[in-house]
Chains A and B, each alone.
Chain A
Amino acid sequence: MIEEKSHLPNRSNMSKSWTKYLLWFAQEHVDFRFAEINSLMSLFNIEMRFVRKPKDEPYWIVEFPSEVEVKLLASRSVSLRNCIELWAHAPNVQKLHEELKLYPKSLMQPYIQADKSFKIEVDTFCKHFSQKEKVDKLEAFSYLPVDGPVDLKTPDVTFQYIEYYGIIPHCPPEQPYEVFFGRWVASGLRQLIKKLSLKTRKFIGNTSMDPQLSLLMANQAKVTDGSLVLDPFVGSGSLLVAATQFGGYVWGTDIDYLMLHGRTRPSRIHQKTRDRDESVRANMKQYNMEHRYMDVLVNDFATPFWREDFRFDAVITDPPYGIREATERVGTKKEGYEVKAEHLPTHIPAKIEYGISNIYKDLLRFSARHLRVGGRLVCWFPVFREDYTENVLPHHPCLELVSNSEQTLSKVTSRRLLTFEKTREPTEDELDEYPVDIMDFREKYFVIREETRKERRMKEAKIREDDRLRNLNKQS
């Protein structure tokens, strides 16, 4: 055993000195950053150390054992903008230059040689400068011992100088809070968000998930080449589009026959009818991912039909909350009801309410059975912010909650992106019944709406009345 172990490269032992990096994030979905990076570190088995505990700034100062890890992370992250090998950082410009002058020349050497073309980029976060001002800032670095030629289009080496003026737009301070200089190493996947934009996608529905969040979900599910991925409330398939980008082979099911066949009313305002060939498959074709499209099936999630021993690597889904999409399952309240034989060929099954608590109960139970051990369930869960504690979340003894991030929807509501990892196979009992007490989001949602609507009407009536009185006064 010991012999074998010594053959395995252990990254933390191999490199004695860790290198400092600046990870610059998009200032969007801040709460999701940690969840994404943690998932990716776990997927690639990467180690990372914080040099400084991150607060709400768009950057982290961290250390990695080598550049390999940084590049792996960037190759999959959608929240990352840029990764920079940090040569100097300081609370003001003067100190930055002092620090940069102390940076060991031996470490610069590979990047400043005569055969390496270079450029220096100047970024000022949250404050605008003219081109002339930027050039002045750039010229302050003329002491750098770079020997290569300048190449603005395709340089071998890109240096980045960043001045950070905080995150409050419109009133930046006179001087930056912090300044950085370093060598650009890798960029994240911000381009992919644009490429998968819903604006240019063939087939979308009313509640299609935006590409950034879809990609985040695929990352949190640790989708990788050859992963088997299921979305049991697939709709127009946006989550599957993201999963295929990272190598997932995808299935989807949905109770809505018309949706899967692309026959619902179009979701784009200027589109009168849907194209004949709108479908989840058409989306895969659009992004050249048809080879990873397995199937979509019309199915009621309450009556699953998968072979009991079939295991998925990931279940990624956004179940209906009963607000913008109906929560329905097949069923009837009539007792002893039977469909007459002559009606069978054209019969459309009746549906009854499929309450949120049952949906999530079924979803967790399904995942406990059909995920492989170590596989992940990533799903959204709607909450009332005032009622939220971890106790209101769905849970299952075989699923461990590994991350939980909030996206605010309104003053009172939000939805949480939950990531569960299956820790072991369930016992028969755990698949049958287990107590879950989940509040019905839908019920409360409409009660609150009812109130606010009444309040709004009263307010409007009062304004009208005041206007009327004012007019009367004017006339008299």
Chain B
Amino acid sequence: MKLLTHNMLTSKCMKGVSIGYPLAIKALDIRTVEVDFNPEFVAKMIPKIDWTVLHGAAESIGQTDLPKEVVDNYENNEEFLKKVHHVLLEVDVIDGELICPETGRKFPINNGIPNMLLNEDEV
């Protein structure tokens, strides 16, 4: 699971959960895979991202290179975009858990695939 995906996930659909965001990450295995850098795509994603959540999630799994805030004029700042690219698209949580901030419900991640399936008594 990539941190870009994590930024878009909530546990709001669970019974009794009101916001369910952000989910905490417990990472047991992290893999870094280098992929092609597309600056336009990264720049396009930045306004869609909850930056505080991304920053927090990155720190929680040991990615400390990301600035606390989005820099001005980021579209033309290649160094900044490369850092964002790395955190969003190259860091992959292979094994671990996502944890609902309100109920503590754990969603396992195996082989990089989060299992967001609820049990029949939770829907």
Contacts and interface: CB of A to CB of B under 8 A. Distances in A.
B120 A257 contact: no
Interface of A: 225-226, 249, 251, 253, 255, 257, 260-261, 279, 281, 290-291, 294-300, 302-308, 310-311, 330-332, 337-339, 344, 347, 349-350
A294 B2 contact: yes
B117 A261 contact: no
How many B residues are at the interface, by size bracket?
35 or more
B94 to A, nearest CB: 11
Nearest to B50: A307
B120 A291 contact: no
Interface string B66-103: 00000000000000000000000100000000000000
A311 B48 contact: yes
B117 A347 contact: no
A349 B118 contact: yes
A291 B33 CA distance: 9
Q: Which residue, of A290, A295, A298, has the highest number of chain B Cβ atoms within 10 A? A: A295
Given A291-B89, A295-B5, 6 more contacts: A279-B111, A281-B112, A294-B5, A300-B123, A337-B120, A339-B121
B8 interface: yes
Given A226-B40, A279-B111, A251 B117 contact: no
21 contacts: A226-B40, A226-B41, A257-B115, A294-B4, A297-B114, A298-B113, A299-B116, A300-B116, A303-B123, A305-B20, A305-B116, A306-B10, A310-B48, A311-B48, A330-B117, A330-B119, A332-B121, A337-B121, A339-B119, A339-B120, A349-B120
Contacts of A303: 13, 118, 123
Interface string B6-30: 0111111100000011000000000
A331 B117 CA distance: 11
B119 A257 contact: no
Contacts of B89: 291, 294
Contacts of A281: 112
A298 B117 contact: yes
A2 B21 CA distance: 48
A165 B84 CA distance: 58
Q: Which residue, of B5, B41, B116, B120, has the highest number of chain A Cβ atoms within 10 A? A: B120
A330 to B, nearest CB: 6
Contacts of B12: 305, 308
A273 to B, nearest CB: 17
Nearest to A352: B120
Q: Which residue, of B21, B40, B115, has the highest number of chain A Cβ atoms within 10 A? A: B115
Contact of B110 (A226, A261, A330): A261
B14 to A, nearest CB: 8
A261 B113 contact: yes
A204 B114 CA distance: 21
A291 B5 contact: no
A336 B121 CA distance: 8
B97 to A, nearest CB: 12
Nearest to B7: A307
B96 to A, nearest CB: 14
B32 to A, nearest CB: 13
A338 B110 CA distance: 25
A298 B121 contact: no
B118 A300 contact: yes
A225 B14 CA distance: 35
A298 B114 contact: yes
A337 B121 CA distance: 6
A305 B11 contact: yes
Nearest to A288: B36
A226 B120 contact: no
Contacts of A306: 8-10
A256 to B, nearest CB: 10
